[in-house]
């Protein structure tokens, strides 16, 4: 099975000559350690097959793309030194994308991820200083996207109140509510030891992976009647849940994803529209807007537990209820449920695939 993921590079640059990095206690090359900075790749990279044996290690894996602009969002990243000290003071640091930045020397840099006072090539401020590498230590980074540090709109990124207090660079525990948090949530984890790893204090690559399931619903019929899909919702599905990323059970890796779904509820993902119902699988009416995708908490669906409820123009106020087959919704997979109407009968088929690869922008690929 192919595994798709998203990669973002964390680039390191030395401070300007006029900017003295903070000194550290552990031995290093030179009097001071270089400073951590962040940068996005400027080249396009392709996806590849199954990841390397050491999952989540710096430089492992590949890069893919999704329909969505990562540069329009913010990234939350936790960091920890091998000593257990938090690189970012035990809170997520916010990364902002800057398409262009001109430093004090007049040099211009493009497509950079910045943090603190959003000035990439300086030492930061008293409140947001640049953090140093410790050359002889392991560094662990754990991140998620999209992040909404202001909490102004739960639909554009995960707000701070959805991050449980135990979250740090070793684990993420996040609350997600599908009826308000309507975005593709992705997480990443990587390690770096500047002395042991070939990348040294160079670019660190974060491997993002999808943690939600994507659902699509299509209605087709075999009659000659003209009809339209006008309303739809889902009954019996868990619409919220808690993500555990890094809290391991026996046999898990540091990047294993676990979900605890809430109790199932009804009338979720309500939609109204007017879409002609086709007569073949290729031209059926897709519920929901855009690409017809809704994000769902990964969960086990038992037989006759979850139903897709819909109305059509010809049927007026009559409700059609189609139960989804027994299935396990997994992270990073797209499920297309097709409702086949033939006279008075209705049956459901399902196809499952990895999320397709689409181009987001010229600099960052997300799957």
pLDDT of residue 107: 62
Residue 135 C-alpha from the chain's centroid: 30
Is the confidence at residue 180, as pLDDT, over 60? yes
Preceding omega of 37 cis (within 30 degrees of 0): no
Cβ–Cβ < 8 Å for 10, 39: yes
Lowest mean pLDDT among 89-98, 169-178, 348-357: 348-357
Based on the number of CB atoms within 10 Å of its own CB, is 278 exposed (0-12), middle (13-18) or buried (19 or more)?
middle
Residue 240 binned pLDDT confidence (cut-offs 50, 70, 90)? very high
Half-sphere exposure of residue 123, counting CA atoms within 13 Å on the CB side? 11
Give the separation between CA 189 and CA 78, rounded to whole angstroms. 9
Is the confidence at residue 59, as pLDDT, over 80? no
Cβ–Cβ < 8 Å for 118, 131: no
pLDDT of residue 298: 97
Is the confidence at residue 248, as pLDDT, over 50? yes
Tell me the average pLDDT across 11-31.
37
Element (H, E) at 229: strand 228-235
Is the confidence at residue 104, as pLDDT, over 90? no
pLDDT of residue 105: 53
Question: Encoding tokens for residue 232?
Answer: 């739809």
Residue 344 binned pLDDT confidence (cut-offs 50, 70, 90)? confident
Output the CA–CA distances (angstroms, integers) from residue 116 to 85, 137, 147, in the order listed. Answer: 19, 23, 15
User: Model-level pTM greater than 0.85?
Assistant: no
Q: Who has greater pLDDT, 62 or 273?
A: 273
Residue 290, Ramachandran bin (φ over 0: left; ψ between -120 and 50: alpha; else beta): left
Question: Encoding tokens for residue 177?
Answer: 């509510």
Q: Who has greater pLDDT, 245 or 40?
A: 245
* Domains in the chain, CATH or no CATH each: 213-354 (2.60.40.2630)
The contacts of residue 330 (CB under 8 Å, 6+ apart) are 213, 298
Residue 200 binned pLDDT confidence (cut-offs 50, 70, 90)? confident
Q: Who has greater pLDDT, 229 or 116?
A: 229
Residue 326 binned pLDDT confidence (cut-offs 50, 70, 90)? very high
**Helix, coil or strand: residue 341:** strand
pLDDT of residue 279: 79
- Name the nearest CA neighbour of 56 among 119, 111, 3: 3
pLDDT of residue 130: 62
Q: Who has greater pLDDT, 29 or 308?
A: 308
Query: Please, what is the Cα angle at 175 between 170 and 178, to 5 degrees?
Result: 135
Note the pLDDT tens digit of each residue in 74-99.
889 999 999 999 988 768 988 887 77
Instruction: Name the range with the highest mean pLDDT among 67-81, 176-190, 273-287.
Output: 176-190
Is the confidence at residue 300, as pLDDT, over 90? yes
Percent of the chain at pLDDT above 70?
68
Residue 65 binned pLDDT confidence (cut-offs 50, 70, 90)? very low
pLDDT of residue 159: 95
pLDDT of residue 236: 97
Note the pLDDT tens digit of each residue in 136-155.
899 999 999 899 999 888 88
Tell me the average pLDDT across 36-58.
36
Lowest mean pLDDT among 47-56, 93-102, 113-122: 47-56
């Amino acid at each position: 099975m192919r595994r798709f993921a998203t990669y973002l590079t964390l680039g390191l640059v030395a401070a300007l000559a006029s900017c003295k990095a903070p000194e550290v206690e552990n031995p290093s090359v030179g009097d001071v350690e270089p400073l951590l900075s962040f940068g996005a790749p400027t080249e396009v990279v392709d996806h590849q097959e199954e990841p390397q044996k050491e999952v989540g290690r710096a430089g492992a894996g590949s890069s893919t793309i999704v329909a969505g602009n990562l540069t329009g969002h913010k990234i939350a990243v936790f960091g920890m030194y091998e000593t257990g000290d938090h690189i970012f003071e035990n809170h997520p640091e916010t990364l902002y994308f800057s398409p262009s930045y001109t430093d004090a020397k007049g040099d211009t840099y493009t497509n950079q991820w910045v943090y603190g006072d959003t000035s990439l090539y300086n030492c930061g401020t008293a409140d947001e200083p640049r953090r140093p590498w410790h050359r002889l230590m392991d560094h662990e980074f754990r991140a998620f996207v999209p992040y909404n540090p202001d909490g102004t709109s739960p639909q554009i990124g995960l707000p701070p109140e959805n991050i449980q207090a135990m979250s740090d660079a070793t684990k993420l525990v996040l609350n997600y509510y599908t009826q308000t948090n309507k975005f593709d949530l992705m997480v990443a984890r990587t390690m770096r030891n500047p002395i042991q790893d070939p990348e040294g204090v160079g670019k660190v690559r974060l491997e993002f992976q999808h943690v939600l399931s994507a659902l699509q619903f299509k209605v087709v019929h075999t009659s000659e009647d003209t009809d339209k899909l006008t309303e739809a919702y889902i009954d019996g599905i868990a619409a919220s849940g808690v993500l555990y990323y890094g809290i391991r059970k026996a046999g898990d890796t540091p990047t294993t994803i676990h979900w605890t779904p809430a109790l199932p509820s009804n009338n979720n993902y309500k939609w109204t529209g007017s879409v002609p119902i086709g007569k073949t699988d290729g031209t059926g009416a897709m519920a929901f807007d855009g690409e017809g995708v809704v994000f769902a908490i990964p969960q086990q669906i038992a037989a006759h537990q979850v139903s897709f409820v819909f109305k059509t123009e010809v049927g007026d106020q009559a409700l059609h209820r189609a139960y989804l087959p027994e299935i396990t919704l997994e992270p990073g997979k797209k499920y297309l449920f097709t409702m086949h109407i033939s006279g008075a009968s209705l049956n459901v088929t399902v196809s499952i695939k990895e999320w397709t690869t689409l181009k987001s922008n010229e600099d960052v690929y997300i799957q």
